[in-house]
Structure 1
Amino acid sequence: MLLLRKVAVLAFSLLVSSAGRASAEDFRIGAIFPLSGANADYGDLYMGATELAVSHLNDAKFLGGKLSIAYEDSQALPQQGVIAMNKLVNVEKVSYVLSAFTGVSKAISTTAARSHTVAVNGGGVGPDLAELGEYFWNVIPLANFEVRAMAPYLVQKRGLKRFVLVYVDDPLGQSIKRELESSLPSLGAVLAEALSVPSNAQQFSGVAARVRDAKPDVVYIASFGAQQSQIIKQLRDNGVTQQLASYSGFAIPAIASLPEAKGALFTTQRIDWNSGDPVTKRFTREYQAKTNRAPTAYAANYYNAVLLFGTLASALQKAGLPITGKNLLAKRREIGTFDLVGGRVTFEKDGTIRSAMQISEVDGEPAVVEIVAAP
């Protein structure tokens, strides 16, 4: 079913591309998602949200014409991401691109800046994503805020002071390592061991042995996709019984349904799925109906990224201005605050957002155990 969905969406994208941009009333944005490989679950999750946002904007005739998305497959690999970005900018001529994963986002940011194309990240959380220039925006709080929410909770409320980090050796994992190194000492805690793993590794019995030898109170996992599931399984299979913790990479159905992940803690931005605000309420109800799964922060972020384009493009239309990357950037700065899933969002000067955070526990569907105010 997942494969059929991807093929259908890609076929639709190619059909629209071959027909060309037949009318000035039609609008096209791009998306660089992992649609194949070990991280395809994320791409499927993101697409469920982006397609819902497109249908909402089109049904409301919000832009006076039809909005569509040209999807390109990054496989969560920077090189593939650059190829995809070049196609979207130079062939599809889009002015707005959705991005995902820290390494991919960093890789495409140069093209975004050079071509004045807006790139919007809703999934990567490396803190250096705040430093990629004015055309790179983040609709997700970055990992420094996630670690700063989780570490005090684990130390002060759970009494866990001896940390071991298992991290993928890429920009995401390295940034979380730096954040733990800088934040734990002031809390009276220690990073006893930091164990890096290659991004393509799937065997972790040796890592598990080193984790056991370090005698941690808590094991923080900074990985993603199929790899993080294998790390969890093999830690548990090799006798590591301590508390597991992570960032928002755990906020996917594959982790929620993994028996060995039960009791693990992870952070995401704060979203009250029972909120009465109309944007959140509609998204929650219709996302569940369309995908047959509970909404996640990642899904909300990519819905929001499309909704943000609709809001900005509509404002430019009303002002009689063309929808270009430069004009989208100027209009975002002018408007400043937007009503999105989760409530009102205000962008910082560096194109990031700040948000209250929540800590959830994996127990089938995640249960919120702590809410941390925005810094």
Structure 2
Amino acid sequence: MGVVIGIFLLSAVATTAFSASFKMGFVFSMTGGAAVYGASQKEGASLAVDQINAAAGSGLKIIPIFEDDASVPQQGTNVFNKLINGNKVSIIIGPTLSNTAKITDPIAQKAGVPVLAISNTISGITEIGDYIFRDSLTENVVIPHTVKVAKEKLKLKKVAILYGNDDAMTKATYEVFKKVLKSSGIQILGEQTFAKGDRDFSP
């Protein structure tokens, strides 16, 4: 993550007036359903910032501003607006979830604030605009390889699909899986959906 932050730091320096400090926003899901991902992202980002600042000596310093989107898109919108309009950050790293990014990234695009997605794998994120970037592979790239390896190693011939029907990310992933499974000659025996909050999966 240190290399990624360093590249984005240079990008922002090239487009903003020089100052001794540099505000960088980080939006992670530190609580809520995706906290298992957001917490580790915060730790990695904190370490990277410390290392970059230590190496910079008396030069340009990153001032990190961490915000928790609580794994909720609306909260992500709130913290993006806070970072852009209140804190006046030059760059935003995040958010953790693709569903949140689909709603928050247009805010940054409109404001001309670069965003780097480090864990958004749904298709269409970078198409939001020329200020939106990512370093993670899309599901369109990952799933075909996953199915290919599973078929070769596990000799898969028949599968069933279970996916969330009220989540943009899982619905999009389902469509990719379905297409790849069919093109790979793997039979889909059945499909079952569920919604967030469901606890009873009995027949």
Q: Secondary structure at the match of 2:124?
A: helix
Query: Is 1:154–1:161's contact at 8 Å kept on the other side of the alignment?
Result: no
CA RMSD of aligned residues (A): 1.9
Amino acid at match of 1:137: F
1:106 to 102, 126, 132: 102
> 1:56 is aligned with what amino acid?
Q
1:132 equivalent to 2:123? Answer: no
Taking the aligned partners of 1:190 and 1:116, their CA distance within structure 2 comes to 46
Of the three residues 82, 85, 88, the one matched with 1:87 is 82
- 1:120 is matched by which residue type in structure 2? L
> Partner of 1:73 in structure 2?
68
Q: Residue by residue, what CA displacement relative to the aligned partner does 1:274-301 show, whole Å, maximum 9, x if unpaired?
A: xxxxxxxxxxxxxxxxxxxxxxxxxxxx
Report what 1:57 is aligned to: 52
Asked whether 1:146 is paired with 2:142, we answer yes
Distance of 2:144 and 2:120 partners within structure 1: 17
CA distance in 2, matches of 1:191, 1:128: 27
Shift of 1:105: 0.6
| CA gap 1:200/1:74 in 2 versus in 1, 3 angstroms | farther
- 1:40 corresponds in structure 2 to 35
* Shift in Å, 1:135: 1.1
Q: How many residues align?
A: 184
Letter of the 2:72 counterpart: L
Deviation at 1:141, TM superposition (A): 0.6
User: Structure 1: 5+ residue runs without aligned partners?
Assistant: 1-22, 210-375
Match for residue 189 of structure 1 among 181, 186, 189 = 186
Could you tell me which runs of 5 or more consecutive residues in structure 2 were left unpaired when the two chains were aligned. Answer: 1-17
- TM-score with structure 1 length normalisation? 0.47
Judge conservation of contact 1:162–1:192 (CA < 8 Å) in 2: yes
- Partners of 1:63 and 1:144 lie apart in 2 by 44
Deviations 1:163-215 (A, max 9, x none): 222223312101111111211122111233332222333x1433xx4xxxxxx
- How far apart in 1 are the matches of 2:57 and 2:98? 31
Q: Percent identity?
A: 23
Question: Of 167, 175, 178, which residue of structure 2 is paired with 1:178?
Answer: 175
| Residues 22 and 90 in structure 2, CA contact (< 8 A), matched pair in contact too | no
Amino acid at match of 1:72: E
Distance 2:147 2:105 in 1: 30
Change in CA separation of 1:63 and 1:188 when aligned onto 2, cut-off 3 Å: farther
Cα deviations across residues 299-348 of structure 1 (Å, max 9, x unaligned)?
xxxxxxxxxxxxxxxxxxxxxxxxxxxxxxxxxxxxxxxxxxxxxxxxxx
Residue in structure 1 matched with residue 196 of structure 2 by the alignment: 199
Match of 2:4 in 1: none
1:1-375 paired onto structure 2 within 5 Å = 24-61=19-56, 64-99=59-94, 100-168=96-164, 169-201=166-198, 203-206=199-202, 209=203
CA shift for structure 1 position 96: 0.8
Distance in 2 separating the partners of 1:133 and 1:91: 22
Would the alpha carbon gap of residues 162 and 67 (structure 1) be closer, same or farther in structure 2, given more than 3 Å must change?
A: same
Question: Displacement, 1:151?
Answer: 0.7
Letter in 1 for 2:67: E
Which residue is 2:6 aligned to? none
- Partners of 1:156 and 1:204 in 2: CA distance: 34
Instruction: Check the 8 A contact 1:74/1:84 in 2, yes or no.
Output: yes
CA contact (8 A) 2:123 2:139 kept: yes
Evaluate the alpha carbon distance shift between residue 140 and residue 133 of structure 1 in structure 2; reply closer, same or farther with a 3 A threshold.
Answer: same
**C-alpha distance in 2, partners of 1:191/1:131?**
31
The change in CA–CA distance for 1:148 and 1:44 in structure 2 (over 3 A counts) is: same
8 Å Cα contact 2:160/2:188 also seen in 1: yes
